[in-house]
Amino acid sequence: MTKEELLDEIKKSMKAHDKNRTQILRLVNQSVKQIEVDERRDVSEADITAAVKKLQKVTAEELDGLHKAGEATHAERIALLEEQAKILDSLLPEQVAGETLELLIDETMAKLGATTKRDMGKVMGALTKATNGNFDKPYAASYLGKKLS
């Protein structure tokens, strides 16, 4: 997602009176602006994706904490956070998973000559670089662990 697309999404959500979506998009935009100010450069799509992932992580952690605290007392906040998590998911590009990920792992292993568990970090690093971190990491680690001896 480019910065222009992000700003268009904010306008659309404001016109639709979708307060929750507008709030999330503004948080992402705020993170993007902070990068521009701090680093004095234009943001890339990777920066926007990183901002969305960071917000997604914070939302997931808060949801986890509220679930542990008890759903009865925090039902409204949990519902709001779950909706925000769905919105954040929709902003991210589709993750590489399943057979496509397995093929990519196999290709990466062959290219790097990975054969032992010690090579796992190299393979995961190469996968992160190849997909911009946009893959199912737990599944990849599990599959890779089975493949490496």
- Each residue's pLDDT expressed in tens, for the chain with a length of 149 residues: 889 999 999 999 999 999 999 999 999 999 999 999 999 999 988 889 889 989 999 999 999 998 888 777 788 888 999 999 999 999 888 888 889 999 999 999 999 998 889 999 999 999 988 888 888 888 999 999 898 87
Instruction: Round to whole Å and give the CA distance between 20 and 25.
Output: 9
- Report pTM: 0.72
DSSP letter for each residue of 6-35: HHHHHHHHHHTT-HHHHHHHHHHHHHHHHH
Structural domains of the chain sorted by starting position, each given as residue range(s) with its CATH number in brackets: 3-91 (1.10.1510.10), 98-147 (1.10.10.410)
